[in-house]
Structure 1
Amino acid sequence: MKHAELLAWLAAPADFAQGAALYAQLGGSAVYQQLFALGETGYSRRVLVEQLQLLTGPVQEPAPEPVADNRQLPTDNSQPGTAPAPDAGVLTGLRAQLKAARDERSQLHAQLTAPGLRVTARCKLAHRICALTDQVQQLLASEQHVLTHGRLPGTVATADVTDAGELRRRLDNLISLRSKVRRRPERAGELSALQAEIDLIRTKLMPTNILLDVNAAAA
């Protein structure tokens, strides 16, 4: 019965309080229940809809219609493409950032219900939570791109860069970033990926390797 009510609410999600009550009855996260108890905002409504959609369970795909005996199925002679291997160092860095963003967001959610919290402080927390939610979505998209294409979107992987000037620019930026990360214990998970990238660039900057890369690019 509750499942039917849930589907009905999602079809026309007008009453925020009713949706929050459904979420509580269906055993949703206590942290989100505390958020919804604070009342409706644009952010809390968006989260409520997303969480209730998750509670509906996986969508069942309809079974394909059977093909009549007198019809011949098309033959697919194409070979499946081989996806490039994802960069393990990049994935490690992305997932460390993703965990840090999610952890901070969870902590801020809990702080929203602190007694005596002023409206201005609550607004700041809500804005930060929204920013972290956007960051999480971007990191998830980047992670999926790496898994599919083997590298981050938009930027040529360091392994494919042959220009010495570009390599030195990246090296300077990475060394500077590594120094900053070392001062942030919560970002310690990123260090291994940064160091791997630095080591790769230094290897590529060796005179013999630069010549090999240039010759390979010209071939």
Structure 2
Amino acid sequence: MTSAIVAWLAQPKDFAAGVALYEAYGPSAVYQHLFRQGETTFARTSLVRELHKLVATPAPAVLPKQPELVPERHETVPKPADVEPEPPAVDPAALAHVNAQLKALRDERSHKHAQLTAPGLRQNDRRKLAFRILDIGDEVLETMQLLKHVLAHGSLPAGPVATVDVTDAGELRRRLDNLVALRSKVRKNPKRAAELPAMEKEIKLIRAKLKS
């Protein structure tokens, strides 16, 4: 293409040949239509100018093929194991209180066991001692749970909601059942007789709230 146009531009006498070159290589349909109308001064001037543009326009550069980018492989670094938070500082007074309760219960249980094996013990007394030993076992388990709570959270758990503030009927019935069962045990243990008035008062309060 370039050599033919350059050759024509060197001797631009044949207008028709120049028009043919532009028809073959020129991009503008407007100029193609103009040149088909015949030779005029304006048409010849425009034809020479436009063919010069075609020769002067460099061919698009062919860029070298870029090497294919291979994504970098990153070694997966394992995350460090979650660091367990440090346990909270334990309240010494709370810990001492629970340990004292636990020791007192275990001492009492050992003493009751010794009494249980004493010679000449009446059957009725033996039964009372056995029931108390069973109760102590339950209290030891409860105190152990309390000790775990203190070690895990650093303090004693918040106290239960007072019965006078409880409005849920299900919770009231649960407390009533527990108190009635506990009252039966306490009645069998003369040493815990002092606890009965408070229990009776609590039972009476719950029953009144359930009726209201």
Same fold by TM-score, threshold 0.5 exceeded?
A: no
TM-score, normalisation: structure 1: 0.36
TM-score, normalisation: structure 2: 0.37
Q: Which has the larger radius of gyration?
A: 2
